[in-house]
Amino acid sequence: MSKPRVFSGVQPSGALHIGNYLGAIRNWVRMQDGNECFFCVVDAHAITVPQDPKRLRALTREIAALYIACGVDPERTVIFVQSHVPAHFEMTWIFNCITPLGWLNRMTQFKEKAGEQREQVSAGLYDYPVLMASDILLYDTDYVPVGEDQIQHIELTRDIAQRFNYLFGETFKLPQAIVQRAGARIMSLDNPEKKMSKSSESPMGTIDLLDEPDAIRQKIMRAVTDSLREIRFDESRKGLYNLLTIYELLSGQSREEIESHFAGRGYAELKRELAELVAESLRPIREKYREIMKDPQYIEDILARGAEKANAIAQQTLRRAKERVGLG
Ligand code: AQP
């Protein structure tokens, strides 16, 4: 019996942060046991908004190296770059031609990202979810581990697969989203109303995986909380709740244990302990990353091997789809 397939990816649109780690990559690492995993650096998604070409290429390698530094094992898992597999682009065109505009109009991430600039943003940003559907469906994926913000896109992926299967006969497997509830949405430290984001303009809101301990301390000590005193998990106190969630996920302690540990103590103590916990938790990732980057060819080789494996599977699926549609 073949193992279930898992697909996921991150855009090289900025430095990876603990939201990406706790909401996505940490789960990927766990899912390597018992599944066949494909983890992609989705550079074609990143260019849906303007990127500096040199920085984009460097970030693509940095993120692949960080996957490995976080525990993704290149011997068991396929790590590759989206643009190294042209089938993603061809598949997207076919899906574009069967996806009603009304479905895309409902995508909340586009509305959030486009905001007031709706008439100026690229068609690529609007079409982002269809490219994502191609990423997933090309690999006959069973499970897609994502943060909460991506659930709607996975539902759209299923809708596109079902529509294709209805129009042209059974071709695509319907994937399922895997969302770990705690950590599914880590919020910005300086504006806990907004999620922590790679492309955020405020560096104080985001803890990058490669941040040095001093930067981590500074950001956490300045994190926005409230003027209340009691330290407990209360979703309505967003800043505090976010800090406690990060503490919970990195310490592995239960909420009761954490609340009793901080009973009668102040926010400054919580922040100090959290800063040490984050700095210590990220230390091995930072160190492994530095080790990996001493030899840039190592990453190039892993990505070349990954592209070869991914291309072989994606080409087969694309051929099947083209045949069904009558292309060629
Ligand atoms: N704040 C977050 N909390 C939990 N999970 C998160 N993810 C992103 N931000 C958080 C999860 O990380 C994966 C990578 O996402 P992506 O690169 O496709 O883009 P994104 O979701 O749009 O991530 P960012 O960091 O906010 O990047 P930008 O600023 O470029 O848009 C996904 O699984 C996501 O759910």
- Does the pLDDT value for residue 217 go beyond 90? yes
CATH superfamily of 5-184+296-325: HUPs (3.40.50.620)
Distance CA 245, CA 247 (A): 5
Q: Which helix (H) or strand (E) holds 41?
A: strand 36-41
Tell me the H-state helices in 36-180: 43-46, 53-70, 87-96, 101-105, 108-114, 123-137, 151-168
Distance CA 257, CA 261 (A): 6
- Does the pLDDT value for residue 56 go beyond 90? yes
| Cα dihedral across residues 207, 210, 216, 222: positive or negative | negative
- Does the pLDDT value for residue 235 go beyond 70? yes
- From the candidates 111, 173, 198, 322, give the one annotated as an active-site residue: 198
Does residue 238 carry a catalytic annotation?
A: no
Quick check: do 5-184+296-325 and 210-290 share a fold? no
Full-model pTM: 0.94
- From the candidates 113, 194, 288, 322, give the one annotated as an active-site residue: 113
Question: Which ligand 1 atom sits nearest the alpha carbon of residue 14?
Answer: 30
Q: How confident is the model at residue 183 (pLDDT cuts 50, 70, 90)?
A: low
CA of 147 to the centre of ligand 1 (A): 7
Q: Where are the domains of the chain?
A: 5-184+296-325, 210-290
Q: How confident is the model at residue 201 (pLDDT cuts 50, 70, 90)?
A: confident
- Does the pLDDT value for residue 180 go beyond 80? no
**Which CATH code fits 210-290?**
1.10.240.10
- Does the pLDDT value for residue 252 go beyond 80? yes
Which tens digit of pLDDT belongs to each residue from 90-116? 999 999 999 999 999 999 999 999 998
The pLDDT of 212-225, averaged and rounded, is: 97
CA of 183 to the centre of ligand 1 (A): 12
Q: How confident is the model at residue 182 (pLDDT cuts 50, 70, 90)?
A: low
Which tens digit of pLDDT belongs to each residue from 11-28? 999 999 999 999 889 999
pLDDT of residue 51: 96
- From the candidates 173, 195, 271, 288, give the one annotated as an active-site residue: 195
